[in-house]
Amino acid sequence: MKKNITKTVAYTALLILSVSCNDLELVPEDAASTASWYQTDEQFRQSLNEGYRPVFFPLDSYVGGADGGWDDDTNYRTNLSVIKSGTINSEFDQGADQWSNVYKGITRMLTVLDEIENQNGALNAEQASQYEGEARFLLGVYWTYMITHYGDVPFYENVIDVDQSFEIGRTDKAEILQKIYAYFDFAAQNLPETYANEEYATKGAAYAFKARAALYMSDFATAATAAQACMDLNIYELHPNFGELFLSKTKQSPEIIFKLPRSIDFLQTISYSEVINQIPRNNGGFGSVGPTWDLLASFECVDGLPIDESPLFDPQNPFKNRDPRLLATIVPLGSLEEGDGKTPGDGSRFLNFDFNSYPYATRVLNYNTTEEQVNNDTKSNQNFASFNGLVWKKGIDEDWQDQLADNDILVMRYADVLLMYAEAKIELEEIDATVLTAINTVRDRAYANSTFTNPTVTTTDQAQLRYVVRNERRAEFANESHRYMDLIRWRTAQEIIDGGATYGLAPITANIDPEIVDTQSPLIQNVVEPGLWFWGMTPQLDENGTADFEPLRAAGLCQQLTTTSFPARQYLWPIPADERRLNPNLTQNEGY
């Protein structure tokens, strides 16, 4: 067997010199590296476990960071990420980090494959087959990330040495895609459908990730076939309650196809910044990273119509009569349905407080003490309260108040397979009953625990169904790090983000005295009038479902927080500058 330190560190120039020797972990005790390591089943198992680390599954968002979000669903006050400011260049830190991390994962799994091939009795035939299936599955996931974010990239199927790493060029992404399919096909043939007490890659995961790779690359025929194969296993079903699926207590569900577990016991928790930036200020957080007004406007009404067409929509009560997933995604405000006795100025109980961003709600009930207290979640009292009055609810419960939440990372779930299948068939113009069933199955679950009934999708018009399935993905996967890549693969990022804006509450020039609420006081002279809260008029939606808030701003009913930009070059990330300085054979993507 070839086992030497050169093999371990030769992650290609793409990786080697872009991080320090310490970062490379040249001789870790639990990874694919040392000459004496691959002697037992357990050592192979630990090396494979390395491939499941979250660092090798980059999320396409910074839900907890202060960068302003990557898409039109998330915003951080008036901050803008380099993605939404249109300023990505070849020194883009995130791009360089992900390039290095994913190539590290690739090399580790190639090492595992090499050791499986050359192992001398450490594994029996069944173990070798499963472990090879897992390694190839992980390689399929990693390479999918590389070609969907960078396009053509250096590709290799065996660990290369240092000299080769300085010379290797880029391989056409279409060629790599076929290799990805082969990885997933092998995995599907050699992995079990389920495990007794373990959580590793499965046959269903291989089919599902193959469908995702194909859909991202507009290979709709392959996507439909792979999604159908996953569905035909008949082992997955939707979780009965949409909101509960994302909570930290929901560790097992027949909907989850692939996840990255997190556990407080093993010190694997949601980052402090993610917790503190998302929970409201009354709970000790900042309430600064939250959903956009555009996301709020995108959820349809319970009659199946968009807000600018439905007679049920009330701009003063924007959560009223809406798709139930809205109430599970964003903390609701005001009245929710007829006869509930609530007014536009009412909040809702969340994390044992009344969350209420209404400017005149200067005091709220603390359910922990059963006493009223100063409301820190209205800008009337706190200038840095949520700039648009909204905070996330999805996946957040009382566990988050201790800043040790351990919600699992749901990388692939069955709802995604159903919608991928529907989308692929729509694009192929193979619209039949199975397409409508897939869409309506997801929608039925959304309405299952509400007082409303799913307004069933019945149209077979391709253009209408394309809009439906794209809006379904937005409602279903908000704050799950899928929206960015959806905009990229649909080629709508320029239309939606470039020249766009984010909006928030009308400015407040001074804080209200929490003991005196005088609507005529100059202290609240710039607060929107009570009769015009939350929105003073109904925003109009365009063909992409994007809301136009400019009329509200022009009428003084809100303020513009940011202006966003997305040049065409950003549909692909640049090849990191450091890698090109090391390897002259690495060409650059257009526009960088």
**Considering the domain boundaries, does residue 115 fall inside one?**
yes
CA gyration radius, the chain: 25
**Considering the domain boundaries, does residue 228 fall inside one?**
yes
**Considering the domain boundaries, does residue 169 fall inside one?**
yes
CATH of the domain at 131: 1.25.40.390
**Considering the domain boundaries, does residue 397 fall inside one?**
no
How far apart are alpha carbons 430 and 433 in whole angstroms? 10
Greatest distance between any 2 Cα atoms in the chain = 84
Please give the single-letter amino acid code of residue 552. Answer: L
The stretches of 255-361 forming alpha helices (DSSP H) are 272-278, 293-298, 324-329
> Domain limits at 182?
5-66+79-244
Domain count, the chain: 1
**Considering the domain boundaries, does residue 453 fall inside one?**
no
How far apart are alpha carbons 247 and 115 in whole angstroms? 39
**Considering the domain boundaries, does residue 114 fall inside one?**
yes
**Considering the domain boundaries, does residue 56 fall inside one?**
yes
pTM of the model: 0.92
**Considering the domain boundaries, does residue 376 fall inside one?**
no
Q: pLDDT 10s per residue in the chain (592 long)? A: 333 322 333 333 333 323 322 233 333 344 444 456 788 999 999 999 999 999 999 999 865 555 668 999 999 999 999 999 999 999 999 999 999 999 999 999 999 999 999 998 999 999 999 999 999 999 999 999 999 999 999 999 999 988 888 899 999 999 999 999 999 999 999 999 999 888 899 999 999 999 999 999 999 999 999 999 999 999 999 999 999 999 999 999 999 999 999 988 777 888 888 899 999 999 999 999 999 999 999 999 999 999 999 999 999 999 999 999 999 999 999 999 999 999 999 999 999 999 999 988 999 999 999 999 999 999 888 889 999 999 999 999 998 877 778 999 999 999 999 999 999 999 999 999 999 999 999 999 999 999 999 999 999 999 999 999 999 999 999 999 999 999 999 999 999 999 999 999 987 654 554 454 454 554 444 566 778 899 999 999 999 999 999 999 998 889 999 999 999 999 999 999 999 999 999 999 999 9
CB contact at 8 A, 579 and 14: yes
In 3D, which of 451, 497, 472 has the Cα closest to residue 306?
Answer: 472
